[in-house]
Amino acid sequence: MTKLIPPPAEDKSSTLTLKVSSLTLQLMNSTNSSCVELLCSLKGLRPQQVNFRWTRATQLLYHHESSNMSSTLTLCKPHWTDGETLTCQASYSHNHTLYSKSIMLPDNSGEPFTYSPMWTFIWSN
């Protein structure tokens, strides 16, 4: 007589933690109308080293590492033009996630500036 014994049931469970992080990019008020100051901030994550890259089209404008999770860029004319789009990219060192956000500089027409939002989700188990 042969008796089949099923293998023991293995109870596996895992926890999924969803962290919603965001990169904000905003135009700061400037007292000099020929200059623009932009602030790029990574929020919702623990402070770590972050690599920030500022670009215009494919041209690198500024690159640096920061541990305070934010970066500023100030450009004065003739180094920026009305309606131009600038991009801030933040590479978070803890999980090597890349965040990116773009902003269109004011065109002095009275129209508000625009930006392209990007949501990034990070999960770990």
The verdict on pTM exceeding 0.85 is: no
Q: Are strands 59-66 and 50-56 parallel, antiparallel or unpaired?
A: antiparallel
Give domain limits for the chain: 20-120
Half-sphere CA count of 68, side-chain side, radius 13 A:
6
Among 121, 104, 123, CA closest to 22: 121
What is the reported pLDDT for 31? 81
Q: Report pLDDT digits (tens) over 103-123.
A: 988 765 444 343 444 444 444
Give the CATH fold of the 20-120 domain: Immunoglobulin-like (2.60.40)
The whole-chain average pLDDT of the chain stands at 76
